[in-house]
Amino acid sequence: MKRVFAFIAFFITMMSAALQPMNSFAENNSDSTNIPAESRLAITYLCGSDSVILTATLSIKKGDNTLALENAPIEFTASNGTICKLLGKAKTDQEGIAVVKVVSAGLPGDKDGMVAYVAKFAGTGKYPGAEASLNAKPAKIRLFFSIEDSLRILKVTATQKNEKGEEVAIPKETVLIYVPRLFSLLKIGEIALDETGTGTLEFPKEIVGDTLGNLVVVAKIEEHDKFGFVQGKNVINWGVHKQYYKAEVPSRELWTPIAPLWMIITLLVMLAGVWAHYMYAVYELVMIKRLSKKDKPLF
């Protein structure tokens, strides 16, 4: 089958957008230059367990500049050639990204179950319209955790629906296993599925979870000709407990807001010593002044 999917995973989109920081401008911005603008729209797709996420990235090429278009309405549709279903509308953000999430049940599919997704920017007076599309068949990945012979085992199954609507296995595919991190997904392993669409992985021990050791585990089929990006998720407390720092640092170090005690004590002792002597000297001066007043009547 020809390569019908022109997409990349959403996180890659996010990062590539970050790689080439684009200046965004609001759609209603006025600009006086007469260079013709070219609208570019890209669509990416991610199939979850019971829903589909579509992301469209809109940018405007003007001369040598590529800028993300903000606030532009994007229309998402799904079709099987005969039925065309409106999935939703979304406005682009500062990076020109619009996202919709739809329930996968009821998506119009052809006899193979393929759905054609279209993202459309109708265009405005200033910027021409643009369209992007991709085809994918919904699929499902499930994750199961078990302990066998004191080994932590992650089992993954991948299924698709046949013509009758029954779930059947997706055999012989590669599933990548990740844990989500602050900025990206950390890959922890790969599973090759057997004929029954099942595969297992001994779960690594040293993965850090949250402060209670909980881990989200993501299993993904990526860039598949037929299924595109498919993802399944589950949670398990097999992680190493994350170290938790309290926001307030009560310690007394050289670099903390509060000084070490010995430092304060030393300083106070020294200051008290010196100023006490000053006070004594001033006291003597005051006494000298007083003595002169006492003496005065004598003169």
Partner 1 sequence: MELQQKNPLKEFAPQLEQTSIQGYAWIIFLLAVIGLGVYAFLQQVFHGHEVTGMRDNVVWGVYIVNFIFFMGISYAGALISGTLHLFKTAWRKPVIRMAEFITVISLLIGPCFILLCIGRLDRLPYLVLFGRIQSPITWDVIAISTDIFGCFIFLYLAVLRDLATLRDYELLRLPNWRKKLYKTLALGYTGTPEQQQRLNRATDIMAAMVISIAIIVYSVLAWIFSVTLQPGWHSTIFGPYFVIAAVYSGSAVLILAMWVFRRVYHLEAYITKKHFVAVGVIMLVLAAFFGYFTFSDYLTKWYGSEKNDELLIQLLFKEFYWPFIISNYVGVLLPLLVVGIARFRTITNITLTAIVVVISLWLNRYIIVVPTLESPYLPIQDARPEWLNYSATWVEWSLTAAGVAVFCLLFTLASKFITIIPVSGIEGEEKKEDVLI
Partner 2 sequence: MEEELNKNQKNSRRQFLKKGIIAGAGVAIGSGLIAAYVDATATETGEKVKVLTTDGEIMEVDKGLLKLPRVSREESHKGIPGRKFVMVIDLGKCKNARKCVEACQKGHHLPKSQEFMKVYLLQDSEKTSPYWFPKPCFHCDNPLCVSVCPVGATYKRSDGIVLIDNERCIGCKFCMTGCPYSTRVFAWKHYPEFDEDKEPYSPEAGSPGQEGTVSKCDFCPDLIRVGKIPYCASACPMGVIYFGDVDEDTVTNGTETFQFSKLISDRAGYRYLETLGTRPCVYYLPPVDRQFEVERGFGDLDPAIKERYKDTPYSKKNKQ
1 binds partner 1 (CB under 8 A): no
For residues 129 and 192, the answer to whether their CB atoms sit within 8 Å is no
Torsions phi, psi for 265 (to 5 deg): -65, -50
249 binds partner 1 (CB under 8 A): no
Burial class (CB in 10 A: 0-12, 13-18, 19+), 198: middle
For residues 90 and 118, the answer to whether their CB atoms sit within 8 Å is no
Q: Give the separation between CA 216 and CA 143, rounded to whole angstroms.
A: 11
101 binds, among partner 1, partner 2, none (CB under 5 to 8 A by kind): partner 2
257 binds partner 1 (CB under 8 A): yes
Q: Give the separation between CA 26 and CA 31, rounded to whole angstroms.
A: 11
149 binds, among partner 1, partner 2, none (CB under 5 to 8 A by kind): none
Q: Which of 248, 273, 278, 297 binds partner 2 (CB under 8 A)?
A: 248
Could you give the strand order of the β-sheet that contains 84-91, starting from the edge strand earlier in sequence? 84-91, 73-79, 115-121, 130-136
176 binds partner 2 (CB under 8 A): no
94 binds, among partner 2, partner 1, none (CB under 5 to 8 A by kind): partner 2
262 binds partner 2 (CB under 8 A): no
- Those residues whose C-beta lies under 8 Å from the C-beta of residue 193, and which sit 6 or more positions away, are 156, 157, 158, 169, 170, 171, 172, 173, 174, 175, 199
145 binds, among partner 2, partner 1, none (CB under 5 to 8 A by kind): partner 2
x-or-dash pattern for partner 2, window 185-224, by CB under 8 A? xxx------------------xxx-xxx-x-x-x------
Q: Which of 21, 106, 125, 297 binds partner 2 (CB under 8 A)?
A: 21
251 binds partner 1 (CB under 8 A): no
149 binds partner 1 (CB under 8 A): no
For residues 156 and 143, the answer to whether their CB atoms sit within 8 Å is yes
94 binds partner 2 (CB under 8 A): yes
64 binds partner 2 (CB under 8 A): no
Which of 179, 161, 178, 183 is closest to 170 using CA atoms? 161
267 binds partner 1 (CB under 8 A): yes
25 binds partner 2 (CB under 8 A): no
- Helix (H/G/I), strand (E/B), else coil: 188: strand
Per-residue CA distances from 91 to 77, 185, 211, 264 (Å): 15, 26, 36, 58
Stated as kind and residue range, the H or E segment containing 52 is: strand 51-62
Contacting residues toward partner 2, per CB under 8 A = 10-12, 14-16, 18-19, 21, 46, 48, 53, 55, 90-91, 93-94, 97, 99-101, 144-147, 155, 178, 180-187, 206-208, 210-212, 214, 216, 218, 231, 233-237, 240, 242-249, 253-257
Contacting residues toward partner 1, per CB under 8 A = 254-255, 257, 259-260, 263-264, 267, 270-271, 274-275, 277-278, 280-282, 284-285, 287-289, 291-293, 295-296
